[in-house]
Structure 1
Amino acid sequence: MPGRDTALVSPATETSTSLADGICGAVGGARAYVRGASDVVGQIARGLTTPSGLVGAVIETGWVTAHVLTYPFGVSAEQRRRADRGYRIEHLRPHQRGLLVSDIEAAGTPILMIHGLNSNRSIFTLMQRGLRSRGFNDLTTINYSALVADIRTVAGHLAEEVERIVAESGYERIHIIGHSMGGLIARYYVTRLGGDARVHTLVTLGTPHNGTYMAYAWPTQIGVQLRPDSALIQELRRPVRDCRTRFIAYWSDLDQLIFPQR
């Protein structure tokens, strides 16, 4: 038309432009992930050169060795038994006696432990010994399948286990300790399935609360869920109103599997 500049773009040109934009976006995203991974690797390398970093690496090596040795003993389900412990305390060690005398409710509140991916309940062997020596008596560990494909499904099974413990113990609320992905499972239960009504305190150990870049190397459904941009992580980032559970999260700058660590 007179007086108007008209640009004619063929469908083939539009397709080429869209494809080029898509490729540029993918390349840009890959560069961002590489930069993020490089920064994390650099932080770990710098951490290992410090005295505390070296001590931590030695402790971690010992911990991994202990876990490898105890792993076969955690394959089977835990044998649950609730014995009548009576009311006498003179046979207990000082730490155990002290907690019973000062806070009998804390000593009796059940503690449920849930392991991480490709692990089992044996990961808590040393922790159980430590907790019992300090007076915490009601400890339970559970296993879930190494072939798990959905964190939401495991969280539903966790809810059933919590209800069983509540019914058996008589306590309305319990504590949960979750290692790695186990903490993410427990967090989903607490924040998305109403678990805050049953969980007083949730303690997570090395849990990928913001996902982990390492999951991009894991081409499975569970690997996809553990990625920082997954639908599951986005769902967990949504605010939770009136949540009654106290959260305590432990993380390490030297964690080789969780990027970012916090």
Structure 2
Amino acid sequence: MKRLLSVFLLFAILSLHTQPAFGQSDGPQISLLDRSGKTVTSIIDGNQVRLRIRLDADVNAQTRIAFTTPNVDGPLAECVIQTGSDSCDTPPFHALGWYWDPDGSAQTQRMIQASVNGSQASGSLTVNVIPRPVVMVHGFNSDYTAWTNYLGPNGYLAELGLQGFAVGDGQVPGVMDTGSLSDPFKRTNSIAQNAVILGEYIDNVQKVTGAEKVDLLVHSMGGMISRYYLDRVMTDDNVAQLIILGTPMAGSACSILPASLGMMLPATLEIQPGYMVNVFNQQIVKRQGVPFYALAGKKLLDAVASPCTPVPSDVVVTVDSVKAIPMPVEEIPLLHIELNTSREVFDGFVTRHLKTPPGGFEVAVDPPPGSNAPASQQFSRVYTGHVNKGETQEVVINIDPNVTVANFALFDTTRSLDTVVTGASGNQIQLDPLANGVIRIDDPSTMIYLGYGFRQPRPGRWVVTLETTDATPASGADFAIAARFDGGALLQATQDLTVTRVNQSVTITGSLTADGAPIPLTSAEAIIRAPDGSTETRVMRINGNQAEVEVAPRMSGIYGIEVNVLAQTAEGNTIDRAAFLTLDAEPTWFETSRNQILAVALILGLLVVSVILARRRRSIRR
């Protein structure tokens, strides 16, 4: 009898341990809750949700719940049912990637299942999923039409079932100003101002779609604007990822051409390497957890074919410039103007990131301030002017000994001028598309119109004759032209401050060497372009191969400083070099306080006017 009783007790104990912690149940009830706590069965990919499970009975021990979905490795979210309870909620999370499976197929419905202490439970929840929208941000001297291939019912995004919005397209309010050749001397918005507009545009997209997160797809300067938005403007966690096409994270020296004409300021100064490396990348580092993915163009591989940048480049942005900040960067043999239109880019790069499935979104870590400095570049001074219709104008550019490659870059507001090149020998040179890497780009966003180069150029005076054509308007054409040199003399320009206050003095220095030996200067000047577009030329103090000048900004904003020096070699050849710096002058405490007082006074004035008008209305009614 005792033996039978012992067997019975052992069987009862084993049965108790093998019984599920939630007791007998016909199946758990799974619910999806939105940000407000409301139970829903339909969501937009990326919106914040919680998952809830409720059992038929209280559990007698802590019970771990993992929510999963077919074809996706790992849990979507987890929670723990405490002893004596029958339910638990997961912490809030974003349903990122729910519209996509790992194989790239769209999932308009997603089945949510649950496992209880590692064992698959019966029952499931089917959720309708709508894809999150894509917001596209154009670059310098451009507008929403840069994304024509992506927009509309026949655009790239529609093929994936995605809704696309391009800043400035009128679908929702918000228009950035990054410059336009229709009015090139009109001041552009700053990066900061455009970032605020981008934020307003994203807010409006969220209102009309109900999406809490968007993907940002950006081209060129649009990446700089988007970085500023993430760091300084965004208050809600509303960006899923930043997909970058050809953004010059270390700037582009090609912008010295329109900047020297005083065109499209401050944008043409903000793009310069001096500003991006020494100011922007030192301050704009916060990513708010948003992952960055970048693509760089490398169409140009031969130095003679790259008019204003080292190679490899997409004409105006080098691969190294895109790689200047920490992020994964891929490369493709395309031009800058092709990156935002190419089918190959969309199919092979953009689509892959837009289709990121659940669990594929990394949380980005903020990098330290700073960036990789771009390769040192040597330029002649920028020669600017105006050619009247039917006339010509000559520009003399001196090439010094030991220059291995000389590239010429022309910015022409009308994109209509022709050039005739006369070498140091006095003979005209017939430009060959292959030997001289001739490139002509009829797109203002590239910041150049015509480029060509020469290997082992003969030292001496080179003359570029600019000629108008039938396409040149009656008003003529403004131009800027400069040469970029590989080899030869080296000008190094520095400044003791890159960010300063109004009226605070900044020391600018320049030194010229060749093969490590100092070259005495014959003249040196600094052309200072103020934020309002006005210029001042300052003669620099010369001491041997060095020159120096102090600059005290008189107004807040970004200044462009062009350091131009001349020297003579022992053989009598002229050395012509220029370096380009930027200076960010912040307002004084007095200016900031004055502006705040004026703003408060304006608000109070409006309130007083409102009160007076209200009283008048009441008196009229009486």
Q: Same fold (TM over 0.5)?
A: yes
For 1:69, the equivalent position in structure 2 comes to: none
* CA–CA separation in structure 2 for the residues paired with 1:106 and 1:187: 29
* Pair 1:141 & 2:183 matched: no
Residue by residue, what CA displacement relative to the aligned partner does 1:118-177 show, whole Å, maximum 9, x if unpaired?
2222221223312211221x2111232335231110101111111111222222111111
* Pair 1:168 & 2:213 matched: no
Judging changes above 3 Å, is the alpha-carbon distance between structure 1 residues 242 and 155 closer, same or farther for their aligned structure 2 residues?
A: closer
Tell me if structure 2 keeps the 8 A contact 1:208–1:261: yes
* Pair 1:256 & 2:296 matched: no
Which residue of 235, 243, 248 corresponds with 2:288? 243
Instruction: Looking at secondary structure, tell me which structure has more strand per residue.
Output: 2
For 1:206, the equivalent position in structure 2 comes to: 246
* Pair 1:132 & 2:191 matched: no
Judging changes above 3 Å, is the alpha-carbon distance between structure 1 residues 228 and 164 closer, same or farther for their aligned structure 2 residues?
A: same
* CA–CA separation in structure 2 for the residues paired with 1:250 and 1:154: 23
* Pair 1:122 & 2:145 matched: yes
How much has 1:217 moved relative to structure 2? Answer: 2.0
Given residue 193 of structure 2, which amino acid in structure 1 is its aligned partner? Answer: T
Report 1:19-38 matches (<5 A). none
* Pair 1:224 & 2:269 matched: yes
* CA–CA separation in structure 1 for the residues paired with 2:288 and 2:137: 21
Q: Which moved more, 1:112-121 or 1:223-232?
A: 223-232
Paired residue secondary structure (1:204) = strand
TM-score in terms of structure 2 length = 0.25
Which residue of 96, 99, 111 corresponds with 2:106? 99
TM-score in terms of structure 1 length = 0.55
* CA–CA separation in structure 1 for the residues paired with 2:298 and 2:216: 24
How much has 1:234 moved relative to structure 2? Answer: 2.5
How much has 1:243 moved relative to structure 2? Answer: 2.0
* CA–CA separation in structure 2 for the residues paired with 1:191 and 1:201: 14
How much has 1:102 moved relative to structure 2? Answer: 6.7
How much has 1:231 moved relative to structure 2? Answer: 6.4
* Pair 1:113 & 2:117 matched: no
* CA–CA separation in structure 1 for the residues paired with 2:256 and 2:222: 19
Paired residue secondary structure (1:256) = coil
Judging changes above 3 Å, is the alpha-carbon distance between structure 1 residues 108 and 202 closer, same or farther for their aligned structure 2 residues?
A: same
* CA–CA separation in structure 2 for the residues paired with 1:157 and 1:235: 19
Given residue 257 of structure 1, which amino acid in structure 2 is its aligned partner? Answer: V
Paired residue secondary structure (1:248) = strand
Judging changes above 3 Å, is the alpha-carbon distance between structure 1 residues 218 and 107 closer, same or farther for their aligned structure 2 residues?
A: farther
* CA–CA separation in structure 2 for the residues paired with 1:151 and 1:225: 8
* CA–CA separation in structure 1 for the residues paired with 2:298 and 2:244: 15
Given residue 134 of structure 1, which amino acid in structure 2 is its aligned partner? Answer: L
Q: Taking CA–CA contacts closer than 8 Å with sequence separation of 6 or more, which of the two structures ends up with the larger relative contact order?
A: 1
Q: Which runs of 5+ in 1 are unaligned?
A: 1-96
Tell me if structure 1 keeps the 8 A contact 2:231–2:287: no
Which residue of 270, 279, 293 corresponds with 1:234? 279
* Pair 1:156 & 2:196 matched: yes
Given residue 249 of structure 1, which amino acid in structure 2 is its aligned partner? Answer: A
* CA–CA separation in structure 2 for the residues paired with 1:178 and 1:110: 14
* CA–CA separation in structure 2 for the residues paired with 1:140 and 1:126: 12
* CA–CA separation in structure 2 for the residues paired with 1:204 and 1:155: 16
Q: Which runs of 5+ in 2 are unaligned?
A: 1-103, 111-126, 169-175, 180-185, 260-264, 300-313, 323-622
How much has 1:210 moved relative to structure 2? Answer: 1.2
Given residue 140 of structure 2, which amino acid in structure 1 is its aligned partner? Answer: L
RMSD (Å), alpha carbons: 2.8
Instruction: Looking at secondary structure, tell me which structure has more helix per residue.
Output: 1
Paired residue secondary structure (1:126) = coil
* CA–CA separation in structure 1 for the residues paired with 2:270 and 2:257: 12
How much has 1:196 moved relative to structure 2? Answer: 6.9
Q: Which has the larger radius of gyration?
A: 2
* CA–CA separation in structure 1 for the residues paired with 2:278 and 2:206: 29
Given residue 101 of structure 1, which amino acid in structure 2 is its aligned partner? Answer: T
Judging changes above 3 Å, is the alpha-carbon distance between structure 1 residues 232 and 163 closer, same or farther for their aligned structure 2 residues?
A: farther
* CA–CA separation in structure 1 for the residues paired with 2:230 and 2:246: 18
* CA–CA separation in structure 1 for the residues paired with 2:243 and 2:128: 18
